[in-house]
Structure 1
Amino acid sequence: MRIPILKGVYADTVGDFVESPPVNREPVIMETGLSDGYLRMAPGITGTDQGPGADRGGINWNGVCYRVMGPKLVRLTAAGKIVELGDVGYGGPCWFDYSFDYLAIGSGGRMYYWNGTSLIQITDPDLGQALDGIWIDGRFMTTDGEYLVVTELNNPTAIDPLKYGSAEEDPDRIVGLIKVRGEVYALNRYTIENFYNAGSTGFPFARNSGALIPFGAVGTHAKAPLLQSFAFVGSARNEALGVYIAGNGDAAKISTRFVDDELAKLTDEQAAAIECESRVDADEQRFLVHLPDKTLVYYASASAQTKSRVWAILASGVKADQPYRGRRGVFANGKLFVGDDAGNIGYIDGTTALHFGEVAGWRIDTALLYNEAGRGIINAVELTGLSGRAPLNSEPRTFLSYTIDGTTWSQERAISVGRAGERAVRMQWRPNVRFSQWIGLRFRGADEGRAAFARLDAAIQPLGG
């Protein structure tokens, strides 16, 4: 009997079946002859340097990765070493954008320019609090939560208060800005409004009322580009949070019930602090939703191929119960550089499973096995894929447990998945487990191995009713 492994199921204590995405395993939709998809180990993170404080975001400008760490603006060398450039003060996550001549940095509501040699702060009092900002059509545009503020064309450090704009469809607060195909989207809490450059003498942008999206973002950093548009975490008024991708005057939901349930666990402060980012690599477009304890990942290409919404979980720690440490990715010098809240800088590395040198656990739950309401015995279980992918002097092991009620799990049974070079190892268990109606299986590990799993087969002996 072949058992699906790309998405699992378990149960909770209140009588619901719950979807269980793979943890630190990436689904890849590809016909291999063994199956039409497989699970590989999520890429690890190789550290390169330690910064002057917590990583707060970054950007690639003129081929160089610039980041803010603690209070400092820094740049990374090609090897990922940190060079301090100036002080932008403390605050939460930063926003970045650039013009032909300036890199703009938003830090703690303040706005700074870096011109390649010096750092200056915008001190015009008409700027207000720069919560978020973009560059468009020769101007920087920021928002203080109430107005849209633009810099002067001939002086990017000056702001004319007679040229303020606003999002007026709904009295909800503006939380962020994003630019898509040369147009501005003002993300409010419950609506998203589109603006185009009308060349007006006052505020130069005009609102496109026909492109209003009746959903809004939950926080300033809860959005990122995706599929020639952008995705965001938010909701319509009087609705629970979800994940959406913006369309023409509407938004399509891409979150599953599991994702919605994870969002529902957050406090208002935690929800407003959600950070999102997009990553494109090897024919897959990912949308990452960073939560306080984990990161939820939407796989756009895999979802299109399977015609279902494909999600996975990234987390750090041996038990995969710690926040994912590879955040705020910036692609530069052929690598995707990321940082963590401890000030570590590194790059996403497909040759290792470690996160900054530390083991990260993984987990796979299966769909439930149902023997047509009959009893049965699972005599053998075998994972088929790529074994023997491990560093020298290590022996990765995979642990199997089972559940017959969806909430409690059995004692684990471990097998070796092959030392380095042992690529003919068969990943087999012989549990001889009896079940009365249905059973679920769980596989997990915590080591440096990078075995990939393409299919799961079970030999089941049916019993009488």
Structure 2
Amino acid sequence: MPRVNLPIAKGFYLSDSLPISAQECVNWYPNIPQVEGALSAESLFGCPGVSEILTTGEVNQVNRGAHVKDGKPYFLNGTTLIRIDNAFDSQGEEFFTSVPLGTIPGEGRVSMADNGKQLMVLVPGGNGYIIDESSGTPFVQITDAGFTANGNPQLVVFVDSFFVCNTDSKKFIKSASNDGINWSALDFGSAESDPDKINSLYVHNNKLYLGGTETTEEHQNIGAGGFPFQRTGFFLDKGVFAPFSMISSNNTFMWIGGGTNESPAIWALSGNSAQKVSTTAIDSALQDYSQEEIEQAFAYSYAQNGAYFVGFSLPTRTFEYNVITGRWNERKSQIINSKGLTETIRWRVNSIVTAYNRVLCGDSQDGRIGSVEVDTYTEYNNEIIRTVSTQPFSDLGNAITVTQLEATFESGVGDLSTVNPQIRLSTSPDGRSYNNELSRSIGKIGEYFKRSIWNKLGRFPRFAVFKFVMSDPVKPVFIKLEANIRGGQRGN
């Protein structure tokens, strides 16, 4: 019987109808080697883990946002804004310290921007704060009447020497040049191509984009007298549904939104138009959330080992897109909840910044600051459950018999803590229910030629789905999947 290669790296695609597709890709991400002659044309790499670099202590100090100014990361944990500094001890080991800068009341996510000297932190609909550590008053609240003269500011960006905010009165405002403390009531503009509410704003290629509820409009600083930002005439017929979802991505930007009377999807600016990058399966998942829950979504981006990730976190799920491969995966975390029970949640990361040649993150559970690392295989010492389910395999509707299945992993990755790491397989004839797991070793220390093979997996009436689960904290690389499959009617 022929031995066939089965695809494993198509990414997340969990259909409303599981017999159509039951592809899970949780805490793995698809990788496509950029070289000819690789052992496999597609593979799966394990998503990086997270190690703690320091903690601000209190359990309720969950992260509300982060920003990098002048190479230094700033995190708002709970109500305390901190700066993270690094140094090296006498042995050359890097260590980190946190410097508290001030108190910012509230519980929700904040917006941050800087002009190289001043860092502005804005509580949506509330107060704005300026942090200037080079001045005699390093932490001040914005009290200028012009700041709220055109409505309550919501988000902040920086462009062409100005802090710019959208407000809840369908306007956007600017600060004085390189001065976030001073604002004029006369310095405001509005989106004019459509009278929809300005939900978000973003700066791309030095252009200011106003994301309304139904359209997105481009403005540019023309340097004229009066209010300097004017329409360029370019606009998109897609609005922004989640204010914190606008994020840069490989010389473009992405967001959660849609047009008039459209359900939410994930879009990217492509030339002069909006291109949908979410699959119908992700669109379906987005539709499971209420408008309020969609508005709570936020985006993050980071790059590691040649992969460029853009993530979208909703209240209960995190979807991640690799702009290099164009494939999606899902991120999940294991935590110990208040009842002492293990609970699966969306990826626990609340913000990501790159500083000190590291990817640093704030946490959704407590005040820890973490480092996202490709060679860390746990999250704060909690196990990472990695799951991949294949597409349904069939033979024109005929019954199939799987006599042998071989999964090729980077083997011999066991260590002194995990002597004999395992991969667990379960099979399904319908994409809904799976049989008991069957474990195989992926190799103790030095067992580089260890093979993971399952024999006599049985007969499937119409199609077969294979699910692999890995939780051991060792290097996870799933290279390829091969099978001996006999097709045709019963008895053939």
The interval holding the TM-score normalised by the smaller chain is: over 0.9
| 1:37 and 2:42 aligned | yes
Corresponding residue number in structure 1 for 2:405: 381
Corresponding residue number in structure 2 for 1:255: 278
Contact 2:407 2:453 in 1 (8 A): yes
How far apart, in 1, do the equivalents of 2:246 and 2:180 lie? 26
Q: CA deviation at 1:84?
A: 1.2
Q: Deviations over 1:346-404 (max 9, x none)?
A: 11111121011100101111122212433332111111130222342313221111111
Task: Indicate which of 220, 233, 243 corresponds to 2:266.
Answer: 243
Matches within 5 A, 1:167-186: 167-186=191-210
Q: CA deviation at 1:66?
A: 0.9
Task: Indicate which of 141, 164, 173 corresponds to 1:149.
Answer: 173
Q: CA deviation at 1:99?
A: 0.8
How far apart, in 2, do the equivalents of 1:438 and 1:8 lie? 19
Task: Indicate which of 313, 317, 323 corresponds to 2:330.
Answer: 313
Task: Indicate which of 142, 167, 192 corresponds to 2:216.
Answer: 192
Gaps in structure 1 of 5+ consecutive residues: 304-309
How far apart, in 2, do the equivalents of 1:327 and 1:231 lie? 18
Contact 2:353 2:361 in 1 (8 A): yes
Report the residue type matching 1:274 in the other structure: A
Q: CA deviation at 1:203?
A: 1.6
Corresponding residue number in structure 2 for 1:202: 226
How far apart, in 1, do the equivalents of 2:359 and 2:12 lie? 33
Q: Are the structure 2 counterparts of residues 9 and 246 from structure 1 closer, same or farther at C-alpha, using a change threshold of 3 Å? A: closer
Q: CA deviation at 1:422?
A: 2.5
Q: Deviations over 1:53-106 (max 9, x none)?
A: 111111111111111111111011223432211112223112111113211111
Report the residue type matching 2:250 in the other structure: L
Contact 1:21 1:311 in 2 (8 A): no
Report the residue type matching 2:63 in the other structure: D
SS in 2 for 1:262: helix
Corresponding residue number in structure 2 for 1:214: 237
Report the residue type matching 2:408 in the other structure: T
SS in 1 for 2:448: coil
Report the residue type matching 2:50 in the other structure: I
Task: Indicate which of 108, 119, 131 corresponds to 1:114.
Answer: 131
Corresponding residue number in structure 2 for 1:48: 53
Corresponding residue number in structure 1 for 2:394: 370
Corresponding residue number in structure 2 for 1:306: none
Corresponding residue number in structure 1 for 2:75: 67
How far apart, in 2, do the equivalents of 1:404 and 1:154 lie? 63
Q: CA deviation at 1:125?
A: 2.5
How far apart, in 1, do the equivalents of 2:310 and 2:217 lie? 22
Corresponding residue number in structure 1 for 2:471: 446
Q: Deviations over 1:143-177 (max 9, x none)?
A: 11321111123753222112211112222211111
Aligned residues: 458
Q: Are the structure 2 counterparts of residues 293 and 352 from structure 1 closer, same or farther at C-alpha, using a change threshold of 3 Å? A: same
How far apart, in 1, do the equivalents of 2:322 and 2:179 lie? 42
Q: CA deviation at 1:412?
A: 1.3
Contact 1:243 1:254 in 2 (8 A): yes
Task: Indicate which of 20, 27, 30 corresponds to 1:17.
Answer: 20
Contact 2:20 2:392 in 1 (8 A): no
Matches within 5 A, 1:257-272: 257-272=280-295
How far apart, in 2, do the equivalents of 1:9 and 1:295 lie? 12
Q: CA deviation at 1:333?
A: 0.5
Report the residue type matching 1:6 in the other structure: A
Report the residue type matching 1:34 in the other structure: L
How far apart, in 2, do the equivalents of 1:314 and 1:152 lie? 41
Contact 2:196 2:213 in 1 (8 A): yes
Contact 1:46 1:348 in 2 (8 A): yes
Contact 1:91 1:107 in 2 (8 A): no
Corresponding residue number in structure 2 for 1:307: none
Corresponding residue number in structure 2 for 1:286: 309
Task: Indicate which of 334, 338, 348 corresponds to 2:357.
Answer: 334
SS in 2 for 1:258: helix
Q: Are the structure 2 counterparts of residues 161 and 248 from structure 1 closer, same or farther at C-alpha, using a change threshold of 3 Å? A: farther
Q: Are the structure 2 counterparts of residues 333 and 346 from structure 1 closer, same or farther at C-alpha, using a change threshold of 3 Å? A: same
Gaps in structure 2 of 5+ consecutive residues: 87-94, 336-341
Report the residue type matching 1:47 in the other structure: E
Corresponding residue number in structure 2 for 1:94: 110
Q: Are the structure 2 counterparts of residues 421 and 106 from structure 1 closer, same or farther at C-alpha, using a change threshold of 3 Å? A: farther
Q: Which is strand-richer, 1 or 2?
A: 2
Contact 1:175 1:218 in 2 (8 A): yes
SS in 2 for 1:66: strand
Task: Indicate which of 6, 9, 21 corresponds to 1:3.
Answer: 6
SS in 2 for 1:81: strand
Report the residue type matching 1:269 in the other structure: E
Identity %: 24
TM-score (norm 1): 0.93
Q: Are the structure 2 counterparts of residues 464 and 156 from structure 1 closer, same or farther at C-alpha, using a change threshold of 3 Å? A: closer
Matches within 5 A, 1:226-241: 226-241=249-264
Q: CA deviation at 1:3?
A: 0.7
Q: CA deviation at 1:414?
A: 1.2
Q: Deviations over 1:174-214 (max 9, x none)?
A: 111111111111111111111111223322110122x1111
Q: Single out whichever of 37-46 and 423-432 deviates more from structure 2.
A: 423-432
Q: Are the structure 2 counterparts of residues 239 and 277 from structure 1 closer, same or farther at C-alpha, using a change threshold of 3 Å? A: same
Q: CA deviation at 1:25?
A: 0.5
SS in 1 for 2:325: helix
Task: Indicate which of 124, 145, 159 corresponds to 1:125.
Answer: 145
Task: Indicate which of 421, 440, 445 corresponds to 1:396.
Answer: 421
Corresponding residue number in structure 2 for 1:421: 446
Contact 1:95 1:132 in 2 (8 A): yes
Q: CA deviation at 1:293?
A: 1.9
Contact 1:381 1:429 in 2 (8 A): yes
Report the residue type matching 1:135 in the other structure: F
Q: CA deviation at 1:325?
A: 1.7
Contact 1:72 1:88 in 2 (8 A): yes
SS in 1 for 2:190: coil
Q: Deviations over 1:238-265 (max 9, x none)?
A: 0111111013442001000111011111
SS in 2 for 1:419: coil
Q: Deviations over 1:415-460 (max 9, x none)?
A: 2222333322111112431122211111112221223111101112
SS in 2 for 1:432: strand
How far apart, in 2, do the equivalents of 1:208 and 1:13 lie? 41
